Structure 1
Amino acid sequence: MTELSAKYGPVFSFKCGQFDVVVINQWKFIKEALANEHLLGRPKETTIPGVIEHASLIEMSGESWKQQRRVALTVLRDVGLGKSEMEDSIRDQIKSFTEVIKSSEGKPITVADKLFLSVSNNISKLVFGQTSAYDDPASLLMAKMMPEAGKMKFFNVQQFMPIIANLVIKLNLFNMTEIISHIRKFESHILDEVNIHKTKNTDDNSIKDYIDGFLHEISKRQNEKDSTFHVNTLQRNAALFYFAGSDTITTTLQWMMFYLVKYPEYQNKIREEIKQTIGLNRQPENVDRKQMPFTMAFIYETLRHSSLVPLNILRRATEDTKVGDFSIPKDSLVTFNFWSVHRDPNLWDNPELFKPERFLNEDKSKAIKPPYLIPFSGGRRVCPGESFAYLQLFLYLVSFLQQFEISAEPGKDIHLESVQNFVTRKKELPNLIFKSVD
């Protein structure tokens, strides 16, 4: 997309399957587009037509999206998002995870699955009201599904040619049978949770998690015509929160570990900052971020350099509109090239380099996040879990480096080649060695 923009301009369009797709590059135009009320819509089809029948709030447009988002944010805050109890719960999960790492100390290990199980418990607490053991069958299934889900291409046949979606499924093209099987199993797991909550709510009307809150909203709106508050939407929203809250944080933390190993000088620098502020024994707290500018600069640079979400989830123009002098016809699909912003040499000095110092002020006393660092999108469609994500990234990173020196296996180098689909993932996941800090 970035190469095409160099040839055809910062805002260009092309035909993809059944749709006209507009790609917006450069911060100047993306900033304008993020504030454009006519670019808040979503495609009329679900993410995987023929497989997913009901829209989650992230796939909704207009008033239904506004209502679903408002209720979700209210419920999640009421049950713990942004509260000290949630922070305590995250620290408990980190402690359990580090104990698992200690059991394999000094040996090369793959941390991906265990890390996913730890991070997923943080969002599970908010959505399902409970956490799971690392050997829980449903959680292990989710950890297995992540790599499979990550193989789906951004420009895929199902979404851009929904007219043949059923044929793709029938012929099992693009490994769809396995993907559908995983989706159905997870849907069944969520439905079981919903039924458990329904039984519980017969005797207890308190709202302890997102499912409780949504069921309460269903009851309130049962006489509303065309309400989107029903069990099918709850099923989809719960799946959305679980995957988005687990996979993106897990993948970012993996990138952090690889950058720490690739550039050990930064690992040492962060650990020194930890020693000077909270020491190696006290668990970190969210308020410590203000006293740890280099640690925060490292987090910002990880998000910029990896560009975890290189292209935003597709939007749809709900009316004829313009970005700059470029016309965007109604019902065009629109995507923003965040990767082009994060690698723009007009915004960043030597953008190809991994350089956390770029986020520090002149005397290095403060980490500054510029508006064009947009890993969580922006505007009214900004990721509602942004602050929750930063909290976890900070607590996990500091906890890791308080306790471990992280390195590659002897004789093996860490390469940073990536694969870009919906999410930017490292091409290979090498084993790492965790050694306790002396």
Structure 2
Amino acid sequence: MLWECVSILAFAGISVILILEVFRRPKNFPPGPSRIWSTMAQFKKNPLGALMLCKEKYGPVVGLKIGEFRVVILNDPADITKAFGNKSLNSRPPFLPAMIYVGGENHGTLTSSDEVWKAVRNCMVKSMGSLHTSPINGEASLTLSHDMEPLKELLERLSNPVSKEKLSLAELRSKLYIPIANHVWHVLTGEEIPEENKAGLQQQLVALQKALWQPISSPVWFLPTSAKRLPSTRTLLQEIKKAVDPLHAMVEEMVQETQKNGDDDSKTFSQAFLRGCRSYPCLRGYEAVHLKGAFFTLWHTAAETVGNLMAWTILWLSLYPEVQRKLAQELGQTDILDLMSLPYARAVIQEVLRLSSTAPFANFHWSVEDYKLGNGMVIPKGTVVIGNLFGVHHDPSVWPDVEVFRPERFLENEGGEENRAKVLLPFSAGLRTCPGQNFARNFILYALSQVLKDFQFSWDPQQARPTPEEIMDKSLVSIFRFVPDFKIVVRKREE
């Protein structure tokens, strides 16, 4: 009993010291709210709204405390682009779920840093380039046509006039896991997911989705010390590991098979990646570890984010039927090889990316040394840095009718796509910008071309049209922003 009391007091004392150290505002730290507990409460209630309030009150750079971390929020797109292009801010925060998710530190690009990250990133980008995923061409179009039938079968069933069942966007996102995961696997390996692994894959992916994507205000993100000790959060971390382990084993099997078959031909992503590792001394001897981390991150996040982006697209098209009609008409008159050249289709994707802002925090950065901003303020070493992409994409001074889904804004001669691209940062900016962004755009365009020629989506007339505030409130905000679970009517296209 005495030892337990001593342990509790020691833990409490250490916690107080850590809190006092973290909450002490460093010299030249950006301005921000001083009442930490009210800040945390607001962040928990409405994280995106909290970002917008901080921007409105404190300006383009905001400094605050969230949990155990100092946090700096960058609200200006120029600041975000410049800062994220600097190696001082080129790491990721030590978030526990990320470590478990990827399998440890220095695994692939997600948790590695410095020269290891640079080498792995170069291998990944070059290996993806060998797949010809951007722009769409003959070879890529063949892989893009792979495994779309399950999605069409789902929509076919829901579009039956006799059926009263509506399309749940959350369910759509989950059911897109298998076609997208199998398709991405096929693109990266040249083969389908092994049949023995397909049986429970849907359940495994859904289990990981529920365990991993906790609200961004959850202690598992910003209170790592407490998360390791509190029973509830410790259980959450165990659930993440339990859900991700079978997927890691599946990728590990693929890595072993790739090593066994050799990489002389370098016809697939996996072969090209292993071959590329030989050019970097820091990767030699760890090729399999980094291939596993890079492949898993690319494969799973593609399945997760592309499915989510597709569901957001269906939401906006159901709310704006005229946009859907014009898009279906343009897609229906074009060969698949020309999809990326379609002006209206490109504008629709840009507007989906802007209004949805599915990566609202620019996938948190971490300062490995002090970084001086141009205005004399300093981001200290050991700070979480947020690029407020949601705020950038919802700035009424840049985007007229900011909450309206209007693809034409990217077609206007004055301030059209070329100029707006400078402040549209859906895949972040700088050194850690998403390497799969072209693939995501290509897949969404291809998927839309396939489903809009046969199906049309409309807002459920039994539901009131959601306001922008309702869409914000009902979307789950984790590392990504997930589509609200609205119900959409699916019918056969009559045009």
What is the CA RMSD across the aligned residues, in angstroms? 3.1
Shift of 1:289: 3.2
Aligned-partner Cα distance in 1 for 2:131–2:328: 34
Report what 2:450 is aligned to.
399
2:438 partner letter: S
Deviation by residue 1:68-94 (Cα, 9 ceiling, x = unmatched): 011111222224533532222112333
Tell me how far apart the structure 2 counterparts of residues 147 and 157 of structure 1 sit (CA, whole Å): 17
**1:137 has 2:199 as partner:** yes
Determine what percentage of the aligned residue pairs are the same residue: 23
1:226 deviation in Å? 7.4
Q: How far 1:384 sits from its partner (Å)?
A: 0.8
The answer to whether the Cα contact below 8 Å between 1:258 and 1:414 also exists between their aligned partners in 2 is no
- State the partner residue of 1:281: none
Are 2:268 and 1:209 aligned?
A: yes
Kept in 1: contact 2:88–2:367 (CA 8 A): yes
Counterpart mapping for 1:278-317 below 5 A: 278=334, 284-290=335-341, 292-317=342-367
Are the aligned partners of 1:293 and 1:367 in contact in 2 as well (CA < 8 Å)? no
- 1:152 aligned residue: 214
Q: Secondary structure at the match of 1:267?
A: helix
Deviation of the 1:327 alpha carbon: 1.4
Aligned to 1:249: 306
**Alpha-carbon shift at residue 100 of structure 1 (Å):** 4.6
Query: What is the aligned counterpart of 1:272 among 329, 334, 337?
Result: 329
How high is the TM-score relative to the length of structure 1?
Answer: 0.86
SS in 2 for 1:424: coil
- Output one character per residue of 1:73-128: Cα deviation in whole Å (capped at 9) or x when no partner: 12222245335322221123335532453354324344333322222223212334
Q: Do residues 177 (structure 1) and 249 (structure 2) align?
A: no
Partner of 1:423: 480
Give the one of 183, 186, 194 matched to 2:247.
186
Matches within 5 A, 1:323-342: 323-325=373-375, 326-342=377-393
Give secondary structure in 2 for the equivalent of 1:23: strand
For 1:285 and 1:262, the matched residues in 2 are separated by 26
Matches of 1:350 and 1:424, distance apart in 2: 21
Q: Alpha carbons of 1:196 and 1:317: their partners in 2 closer, same or farther (altered >3 Å)? A: same
1:361 aligns to what? 412
**How far apart are the structure 1 equivalents of 2:249 and 2:418?**
44
Q: Report the structure, 1 or 2, having the larger helix content.
A: 2
| Letter of the structure 2 residue corresponding to residue 206 of structure 1 | D
Change (3 A) 1:389 1:369: farther
1:101 to 138, 155, 164: 155
> Residues 102 and 426 (structure 1 numbering): CA distance in 2 closer, same or farther, change over 3 Å?
same
Change beyond 3 A, Cα 1:408–1:15: closer
8 Å CA contact 2:97–2:212 kept in 1: the answer is: no
Give the aligned partner of residue 32 of structure 2.
Answer: none
Q: Secondary structure at the match of 2:372?
A: strand
Which sits farther off after the overlay, 414-423 or 297-306?
414-423
Deviation for aligned residue 1:274: 3.4
How far does the alpha carbon of each residue in 1:292-328 deviate from its partner, in whole angstroms, 9 at most, with x for none?
3222221111111111011022212233222231211
Is residue 118 of structure 1 aligned with residue 168 of structure 2? no
Structure 2 portions without partners, runs of 5+? 1-50
Cα distance in 2 for partners of 1:44, 1:150 equals: 15
Q: Which moved more, 1:129-138 or 1:110-119?
A: 129-138
Give the aligned partner of residue 118 of structure 2: 66
Change (3 A) 1:371 1:164: same
Compute the TM-score of the two structures, normalised by the length of structure 2. 0.77
Relative to structure 1, the CA distance from residue 367 to residue 360 in structure 2 (aligned partners, 3 Å threshold; closer, same or farther) is: farther
Name the structure 1 match of 2:438.
Answer: 387
Q: Distance in 2 between matches of 1:172 and 1:378?
A: 32
Is it true that 1:12 corresponds to 2:66 in the alignment?
Answer: no
Q: Which residue of 1 aligns with 2:17?
A: none
CA 1:229–1:76: 2 relative to 1, 3 Å: farther
Q: Which AA in structure 2 matches 1:102?
A: E
Q: Which letter does structure 2 place at the counterpart of 1:31? A: T
- Structure 1: tracts of 5 or more residues without a match: 279-283
- Deviation digits for residues 402-426 of structure 1, max 9, x if unmatched? 2212234553456434222211112
Aligned-pair CA distance for 1:39: 2.0
For the Cα contact (< 8 Å) 1:48–1:158, is it kept in 2? no
Distance 1:80 1:319 in 2: 37
Deviation at 1:53, TM superposition (A): 2.4
